[in-house]
Structure 1
Amino acid sequence: MNTPPVQMPIPVAAALEAADAGNVEDFLAAFAEDAAVDDWGREFRGRDAIRAWSDAEFIGKEVSLRVTGVRSEGGTTTVSAQVGGKGFNGPSDFTFTVAGEHVTLMRITG
């Protein structure tokens, strides 16, 4: 993962770096116990559900992420990235909500 000059919140950077490295455990550790991933409108709540989703569609598909931009607005951080791997390939936006030291929501859109 290439890190842009704009600072990301630590849990966001940790989640993206872990995903890009293929490290499921560190990826999950970045999320709160009751966090959710919203993948184009499909919601996966809790670390077990996030793990199952990631195994099938994200880290399990050898995702790679090349960050192309970062912006913050209100309580969210949106990371634009070029996604590669054996699943979806193309540009995506990952919008994160963070509480304390953990991601509470990661929403994936185009």
Structure 2
Amino acid sequence: MTTPDPIRRFVEATNAGDTRAFLDTFTEKAFLSDWGSDFHGRDGVARWNQSDNIGVQSNLRIVSVAQRDGVHHARVAVTGNGFNGEGDMAFTLDGDRIERLIIS
């Protein structure tokens, strides 16, 4: 499966360290959950981005993407100054933006 554009832009913005482009991949009322820590709206996503993503120089690589029941499940390899390894990200999209992201 081809990686949907919002997910591709999410990865590219992270890897470029471009916070503005990263936040622009999300809807205004986005929800992000990272192993049970929940973040609401773009302000919440911005806090997560600073503590766990661009703020720790994360670099992402999509390993695989599959769609089930309207959700895009991506296996992602992460390196940087925070988490390093592979994990699962479940993206719910709203048009060209991410509405919901569950990281597990």
Output the TM-score relative to the length of structure 1. Answer: 0.89
CA distance in 2 between counterparts of 1:54 and 1:41 reads 16
Partner of 1:64: 59
Partner of 1:92: 87
Aligned length: 104
Say whether the 8 Å CA contact 2:10–2:22 is kept in structure 1: yes
User: How well do the aligned residues superpose, as a CA RMSD in angstroms?
Assistant: 1.0
User: Percent of pairs identical after alignment?
Assistant: 35
Partner of 1:3: none
Output the TM-score relative to the length of structure 2. Answer: 0.94
Say whether the 8 Å CA contact 2:78–2:86 is kept in structure 1: yes
Partner of 1:77: 72
Question: Among 3, 10, 18, which residue is 1:8 paired with?
Answer: 3
CA distance in 2 between counterparts of 1:105 and 1:20 reads 20
> What displacement does 1:68 show?
1.1
Q: Which runs of 5+ in 1 are unaligned?
A: 1-5
2:65 partner SS: strand
CA offset digits 1:52-96 (Å, max 9, x no partner): 111111110000112211111121101111111000111111110
Partner of 1:53: 48
Q: Which runs of 5+ in 2 are unaligned?
A: none
CA distance in 1 between counterparts of 2:76 and 2:96 reads 23
